[in-house]
Amino acid sequence: MDGMTSGPGDRGRIGLELDPDPPTSRAEAAGLGRGDTEAAPLPEGAPLPEAAPLPEAIVLAADRLADGGAIDVQANDAWAEAGRKVLRFHFGRMLARVPGVISGEDVEDVHAMRVASRRVRAAWRVFGDGFERDAERRYRAELRDIGRRLGTVRDLDVLIGILVADGERRSARHRAGLEPLLSAWRAEREARRVDLTAALGSERFATFVSDYERLVETPGHASVAVQPYAPGLVRYRMPATIWAAYQAVWAFDDGLATADFATLHDLRIAAKWLRYTLEFVRAPLEPEAAGLIRGMVALQDHLGDQHDQHVTAVLAREFAMSATLTAAQAKSISRFVAHLDRGVDGLGRTLGSTWRPIVAASYRRALGRAIARL
């Protein structure tokens, strides 16, 4: 199977955590993820702390787990061993981005590492019951912590990108009016990046990497014994898993016309789970898998664009209400928010174009044909 890359549907959405915790602030409730600790924004122009050298254990593990370009999950694989293949592949992709995240030279390294971390966490959700409970809990807790830290930085990258794009379409006066908001978000982003790089360069993370590498490189390690005649292979277990993931998406159909933003956010998460589940076993599901996944990506993109614009508008309004601004600055931010609100409304009106193909009988028939190939 072809290796999966971040692309449409993974373009960097705000606040999309696959295993979210209850929100602890207004911003987080609106959809902007926060880490476990609050990081004070750095003063504008302040030099960034110099990053510590990356522990050798992380460098060596990243080299050993380098992306081989494919996940070779087969229908006759044992459930835990199929999961181990997926966990190894995407953890290797995570580690490959650590040096770039720490250097800070390209914001796309944060994006790519966040996407890989989501897929690792998704794999634990799908295959986790094939492993010992204590091991599953321990690994998922560490991955959740790193995912949150990555999320806080990437969320701000998305906010900043939307704001900059709006300024580029308008006059120099409008851009100047947006500067206080842009400066505030950039300062918070740098503070969050310092927190992230400290975590990635820590001995705690190095210890976790070494422990995790042993898990994904050792067949049978921490896996649960399967009793005789129990359904322990991918071909026996994956059909029900895929159908359950589809049902979780399909169940939104009756109330979608009146759904609020929180409901649409839940739908987007459900769509992400279905997409990842299909991708993990894509090879034995072809040729239908490509079209099934394409439909989920289109739905994710539509919902993601709407969600990002909504959250950005909420946070920009909050900033305007709490900051000391000139009349010109307040006007620019108000125009920015109004533009986002119009975009959100337009995307809401056209959601049916990406939703209807997902709930059509033809999609379910294709899904059935794919599952029958296992």
Q: What is the pLDDT of residue 19?
A: 41
Radius of gyration of the chain (CA): 22
Question: What one-character-per-residue DSSP string does 289-321 give?
Answer: HHHHHHHHHHHHHHHHHHHHHHHHHHHHHHHHH
- The DSSP secondary-structure symbol of 120 reads H
Structure tokens at 105: 């030279």
- Residues whose CB is less than 8 angstroms from the CB of residue 243 and which lie 6 or more positions away in sequence, other chains included: 367, 371
Q: What is the pLDDT of residue 54?
A: 80
- How far from chain centre, in Å, is Cα 218? 27
Question: CA 76, CA 79: separation in Å to the nearest integer?
Answer: 9
Look at residue 226 and give its three-state secondary structure. Answer: coil
**pLDDT tens-digit map of 133-176:** 999 999 999 999 999 999 999 999 999 999 999 999 999 999 99
Structure tokens at 321: 């209400």
- Global pTM reads 0.85
Contact by Cβ (8 Å): 229, 237: no
**pLDDT tens-digit map of 254-290:** 999 999 999 999 999 999 999 999 999 999 999 999 9
Residues of the chain with pLDDT under 50: 1-6, 16-38, 42
Class of the domain covering 26-37+53-372: mainly alpha
Structure tokens at 362: 């033809």
Q: What is the pLDDT of residue 26?
A: 35
Q: What is the pLDDT of residue 325?
A: 98
